[in-house]
Amino acid sequence: MDARPMSRGAPAFQRVHGGPDAAGVPQFDFSTNSHAGGPCPAALAAVQQADAGRYPDAGYDTLRRQLAAFHQVDLQRVLLAGSASEFIFRITALAVQRGATAVWLPPHSYGDYAQAAQAWRLPLVAQPAQAQLRWACDPSSPLGAAYSGLDQLTNPSALCVLDLAYEPLRLEGALALSDAALQNFWQLWTPNKALGLTGVRAAYVIAPPDAGDAVVQLDTLAPSWPVGAHGVSMLQAWTTPEVQAWLAASLATLREWKARQIALCEVMGWTCLPSDANFFCARPQLPPGMSLAQALTELRGQGIKLRDTTSFGLPGLVRLGVLAPAAQDALHNAWQHIIRKAT
* Beta-bridge mates of residue 135: 161
Residues 280, 171 within the same domain: no
Same domain, 130 and 255: no
- Show the beta-strand stretches assigned E in 45-178: 78-81, 103-104, 133-137, 159-163
The 8-class DSSP code of residue 102 comes to -
SS3 of residue 335 by DSSP:
helix
- Within-domain flag for 12: no
Find the CATH number of the domain harbouring 229.
Answer: 3.40.640.10
In whole angstroms, what is the distance from residue 137 CA to residue 188 CA? 9
pLDDT confidence of residue 20: 78
326 domain-assigned: yes
| The predicted structure's pLDDT at residue 16 | 66
Domain boundary among 198, 218, 242: 242
- Please report the pLDDT score of residue 27 as a whole number: 93
- Residue 47 makes CB contacts below 8 A (sequence gap 6+) with 197, 200, 230, 233, 234, 237
Among 234, 21, 276, 43, residue whose Cα is nearest residue 141: 276
pLDDT at 148: 80
Regarding whether 314 and 236 lie in a shared domain, the answer is: no
| Residues 77 and 214 both lie in one domain | yes
Print pLDDT tens along the chain (343 aa). 444 333 344 444 566 677 778 888 889 999 999 999 999 999 999 999 999 999 999 999 999 999 999 999 999 999 999 999 999 999 999 999 999 999 999 999 999 999 999 999 999 999 999 999 999 999 999 999 998 888 889 888 899 999 999 999 999 999 989 888 999 999 999 999 999 999 999 999 999 999 989 999 999 999 999 999 999 999 999 999 999 999 999 999 999 999 999 999 999 999 999 999 999 999 999 999 999 999 999 999 999 999 999 989 999 999 999 999 999 999 999 999 999 988 8
Question: Are 29 and 47 in the same domain?
Answer: no
Domain boundary among 242, 274, 298: 242
Does one domain contain both 257 and 143?
A: no
Tell me which residue range forms the domain holding 75.
41-242
- Please tell me whether residues 64 and 211 are part of one structural domain: yes
CATH number of the domain bearing residue 29: 3.90.1150.10
The structure's pTM equals 0.92
- Please check whether residue 5 lies inside any domain of the structure: no
In angstroms, the first-to-last Cα distance of the chain is 34
Decide if 113 contacts 105 (C-beta within 8 A).
Answer: yes
Question: Does any domain span residue 269?
Answer: yes
The dihedral built from the CA positions of residue 23, 27, 32 and 38, taken in this order, carries a sign that is positive
* Alpha-carbon dihedral angle through residues 67, 70, 72, 75, given to the nearest 10 degrees: 20
Q: Is residue 190 part of a domain?
A: yes
Same domain as 169, residue 63 = yes
Please indicate, yes or no, whether residues 207 and 336 belong to a single structural domain of this protein: no
End position of a domain, from candidates 217, 242, 267: 242
Q: What domain count does the chain have?
A: 2
At residue 34, the pLDDT reads 96
On whether both 102 and 222 belong to a single domain, the answer is yes
User: What's the pLDDT at 1?
Assistant: 44
Whether residue 31 lies inside any domain: the answer is yes
Q: Does residue 8 form part of some domain?
A: no
Same domain, 63 and 129: yes
Q: Report d(CA 82, CA 100) in Å as an integer.
A: 24
Do residue 112 and residue 255 come from a single domain?
A: no
DSSP at 12: S
Query: What pLDDT does residue 14 have?
Result: 61
- Residue 46 is assigned to a structural domain of this protein: yes
Q: According to the model, what pLDDT value does residue 342 have?
A: 85
